[in-house]
A and B are shown apart, each in its own frame.
Chain A
Amino acid sequence: MIQALALLLGSQLAGEAVVRFLGLPVPGPVIGLVLLLGLLFVRPATANFLKPVTDVILKNLSLLFVPAAVGIIQHLGLLGEYGLQILLALTVSTIVAMAVSALVFVGLSRLMKRRGGAEKSAP
């Protein structure tokens, strides 16, 4: 477990360093993710000791957002007189964006399967 944590934090640290060094416009942990993914391709066995720890973290990812969610009390005043309109905009947009994303994904996936099937059935 400690090895896994050291590797996760080490990847993040390396990611932060790369971001600072190259002046990249992405968060350090995202580069850390890419670096760790690269390592996993080179040494797939690494996944075996990482998995138990990453499973626990990712199954409880919701916990990590609780402090930030509590933080919104500081700024709820910002919503002020526009609270209702803002909430309406967020709700409509979130529903439509999820529906469009999922439908486009499924549509393109079906299109690919149909084409793949057609190619296979061709003589």
Chain B
Amino acid sequence: MTTSVFDIWVYLSARPLLWLTATLIAYVIADAIAEHFNRPAILNPVPMAAGALIIILSVSGTPFSTYFEGAQFIHFLLGPATVALAVPLFQHIGPVRRNLLPMAGALVAGSLTAIMTAMGVAWALSLPLPVIISIAPKSVTTPIAMGIAETLGGIPTLAAVLVILTGILGATLVTPLLNLLRIKDYAARGFAVGIAAHGIGTARAFQVNEMAGAFAGIAMGLNGALTAFLLPLLLWLVL
């Protein structure tokens, strides 16, 4: 009796190895495509790789839980990667110290704008209140956004989806937008994308310029803290 291709598939598709490898390959291809076209913002490797994997999972009827058994090893690295931000931060501490006032101003203005415009548009389009609350923390990292949504009467899982979508939007729009506004300072560019588009925006910043990445990382951290503090206050004022 010979083992058929189908049997091999059944065996492998249930192992972490297959989906771990598939995630790496999808990313390597997506990144190579982006590199080939000189990394235009529109060709962001995150949606390209995730889109391909989503298609593969749907076609093969693989549940997400099976996929994540392999992909969790990559997902886990988000923790050490956050710690790793200390190194570029340390190396660009000079520009960071010189820009404390611009950072503070941009943080408060950007954080408030992100929250209020999201809620304002959602409200104007007459979305239900739990959805409006889930949109509000969309610019901060997933764990913080989910926590905020849960405490304030939003839908945590919806908040998580909106965070990812916002990150992809921000990382895709940042370069054309800031070119249009003629902003050349990499500190300002990185800081802006870090505020509006958290880690996925920071990832984009690191692919363009290390100093932009360092500032994006700081902005992401500060906006997470500020949003967690501001949003309950704002909701209390508005509602």
Contact = CB atoms under 8 A, between A and B. Distances in A.
A87 to B, nearest CB: 7
Contact of B183 (A41, A72, A106): A106
A106 B102 CA distance: 7
Contacts of B127: 82, 85-86, 89
Interface of B is mostly: helix
B49 interface: yes
Given A47-B91, A98-B177, A73 B57 contact: yes
Nearest to B128: A82
Contacts of A106: 102, 183, 185, 188
B45 to A, nearest CB: 5
B21 interface: no
A26 B227 CA distance: 12
Interface string B73-93: 011011111111111111100
Contacts of A17: none
Nearest to A101: B110
B106 A96 contact: no
Contacts of A102: 106, 178, 181, 183, 188-189, 191-192
Contacts of A41: 90
A41 to B, nearest CB: 7
Interface string B111-141: 0011001100110010110010001001101
**Which size class do B's interface residues fall under?**
35 or more
A71 B127 CA distance: 24
Interface of A is mostly: helix
A88 B135 CA distance: 11
A79 B162 CA distance: 9
Interface of B: 23-24, 26-27, 31, 44-47, 49-50, 53-54, 57-58, 64, 67-68, 71-72, 74-75, 77-91, 99, 101-103, 105-107, 109-110, 113-114, 117-118, 121-122, 125, 127-128, 131, 135, 138-139, 141-144, 155, 157-158, 160-162, 164-170, 173-174, 177-178, 181, 183, 185, 187-189, 191-193, 195-197, 199-200, 202-204, 206-207, 213, 219, 221, 224-225, 228
Interface of A: 5, 8-9, 11-12, 15, 25-30, 32-34, 36-37, 40-41, 44, 47, 50-51, 53-54, 57-76, 78-79, 82, 85-109, 112
